[in-house]
Amino acid sequence: MTAQIIDGKKISMDIREELRPRVDLLTDKGAKPGLAVVLVGDDPASQVYVRNKERACEKLGILSVKHDLSQETSQEELLALVENLNQDPSIHGVLVQLPLPSHINEKEILYAISPEKDVDGFHPQNLGRLVIGDPLFLPCTPWGVQELLLRSGVQVEGKNVVIFGRSNIVGKPLTMMLIQKAKGANATVTVCHTRTRNPEFFTRSADILIAAAGSPGLVTSEMVKEGAVVIDVGINKVNDRLVGDVDFEGVSKVASLITPVPGGAGPMTIAMLMANTVKAAEYRIGL
């Protein structure tokens, strides 16, 4: 079998274009959506991500305000900025790019973002709402994975889904999303991680395998069931090349559908961030 490639770039552009009439309507009503992006320090990968987020905003007519802070920014300064953005009526979404420098207490910063402006969906109130099936903002990367599956015609209901990785940003929220009694969910989800014994025992039973461990070459063809759908959320730099967690060449020979890196799950994160920003602006004016 040769897997068909899921074009995340194309699907993400479709989603972004679908948002345009909603942005235009908000703008006509004097509530142009605004996203504040806070970057602390000069991590090169974060700089690229932030630039891509800004560009996506500009293309859609969303106001984008970047706060570029030095590596030496203190906890108090960063907290004060977040408080300011919480109060700013032109801003509907506040995103603090991770990772933060090691002297910053990341948890305290994320908890300080107003849950109504938490377009990353990282605030405990939003994660808690996700767990009980009453979400406000879904974390962008897991939501992007769910949309990729939905728009590729992959049935999730009743399927065995194995998620490799248990991060707060991807693995845990994605698990919660896919076990919900809801459209595009209702799956049986197994989570594998660094302490899982014989992960191939689980991954070989997966109808849908999602790799989100941040470990290049983690998923090889022997670990994948013939005909499985494989979603690669990993973004790793190896010898100046971007690769995922999946051995794309090998796994393409056994999977039925597979996402590439780059051009798979990555662009979806930005599309869902735009969707959350629009949603935040709509929420504010009661639409």
Q: Are 191 and 171 within 8 A, CB to CB?
A: yes
Q: Please provide residue 167's backbone torsions phi and psi, each rounded to the nearest 5 degrees.
A: -70, 160
CB closer to ligand GUN out of 251 and 268: 268
Shortest separation between residue 18's beta carbon and ligand GUN, angstroms: 21
Residue closer to ligand GUN (CB basis): 64 or 269:
269
Give the Cα separation of 35 and 24 in Å (integer).
16
Tokens of 4: 């068909």
Residue 141: CB minimum distance to ligand GUN, A: 5
Nearer to ligand GUN, 62 or 169 (CB): 169
Strand partners, 191: 163
Q: Which lies closer to ligand GUN via its Cβ, residue 96 or residue 162?
A: 96
- What length does the chain have? 287
Is the separation of the CB atoms in 203 and 224 below 8 Å?
Answer: yes
Q: Closest distance between ligand GUN and the C-beta of residue 96, in Å?
A: 6
- The 71-110 contact track toward ligand GUN, x by CB under 6 A, reads ------------------------xxxx------------
* Residue 120 binds to ligand GUN (criterion: CB under 6 A): yes
Residues 133-192, interacting with ligand GUN (CB under 6 A): 140-141, 169
Which one, of 219, 220, 221, 205, lies nearest residue 159 by Cα?
205
State how far the alpha carbon of 129 is from the alpha carbons of 15, 139, 215, 274, in Å.
24, 12, 30, 20
Dist CA 11 CA 245 (whole Å): 21
Q: Specify whether 53 is catalytic.
A: yes
120 is annotated as an active-site residue: yes
Q: What gap in Å lies between CA 58 and CA 8, rounded to an integer?
A: 20
Is residue 203 at the binding interface for ligand GUN, with CB under 6 A as the rule? Answer: no
Which among 282, 266, 235 is positioned nearest to 11, based on CA atoms? 266
Contacts of 167 (CB under 8 A, 6+ apart): 212, 214
Q: Is 212 in the site for ligand GUN (CB under 6 A)?
A: no
Catalytic residue among 7, 117, 118, 120: 120
Q: Which residue's CB is nearer to ligand GUN, number 8 or number 199?
A: 8
Q: Is 269 in the site for ligand GUN (CB under 6 A)?
A: yes
When asked if residue 207 is in the footprint of ligand GUN (CB under 6 A), the reply is no
Binding footprint of ligand GUN on the chain (CB under 6 A) = 95-98, 120, 140-141, 169, 269
Residues annotated as part of the active site: 53, 97, 120
